[in-house]
Homo-oligomer: A and B are copies of this chain.
Amino acid sequence: MKKQSAILFLSCEDRKGIVAEITHFITMYEGNILNCDQHYDESGMFFMRVEWDLTDFAIPQKKIESAFEPIAIKFEMDWRLEFSTRQAKMAILVSKYDHCLYELILKNRAGEHNGEIKLIISNHEDCRPIAEYFNIPFYCFPVTKDTKTEVEKQEIALLRKEKIDLVVLARYMQILSGSFIEAFPRKIINIHHSFLPAFVGAKPYHQAFSRGVKLIGATSHYVTEDLDQGPIIAQDVARVNHRDNVSDLVEKGRNLEKNVLSRGVRLHLEHKVLVFGNKTIVFD
Binding site for B on A (CB under 8 A): 1, 14, 16-17, 19-21, 23-24, 26-28, 30-42, 56, 99, 102, 106, 110, 112, 133, 195-199, 211-215, 217, 231-237, 241-243, 245, 247, 251, 254-255, 259, 278-282, 284
Stoichiometry, as copies per complex, reads 4
Residues of B within 8 A of A280 (CB): 212, 242
- Measured CB to CB, the nearest residue on chain B to A1 is B247
Provide a sorted-by-A list of 27 A–B residue pairs whose CB atoms are within 8 angstroms: A16-B30, A16-B32, A17-B27, A19-B36, A20-B24, A20-B27, A23-B24, A37-B37, A39-B243, A99-B106, A102-B102, A110-B251, A112-B254, A195-B237, A197-B213, A211-B232, A211-B278, A212-B232, A212-B280, A213-B232, A213-B235, A215-B217, A215-B236, A215-B237, A237-B237, A242-B279, A242-B280
Complex Cα distance, B215 from A212, in Å, reads 19
A33's partner among B20, B42, B197, B236 (CB-CB below 8 A) is: B20
Q: In the bound complex, do residue A33 and residue B38 qualify as a contact, i.e. CB atoms below 8 Å apart?
A: yes
Q: In the bound complex, do residue B99 and residue A110 qualify as a contact, i.e. CB atoms below 8 Å apart?
A: yes
Closest 3 CB pairs of A and B: A212-B279, A20-B27, A198-B198
Q: In the bound complex, do residue A197 and residue B211 qualify as a contact, i.e. CB atoms below 8 Å apart?
A: yes
Complex Cα distance, B19 from A237, in Å, reads 35
Residues of B within 8 A of A26 (CB): 20
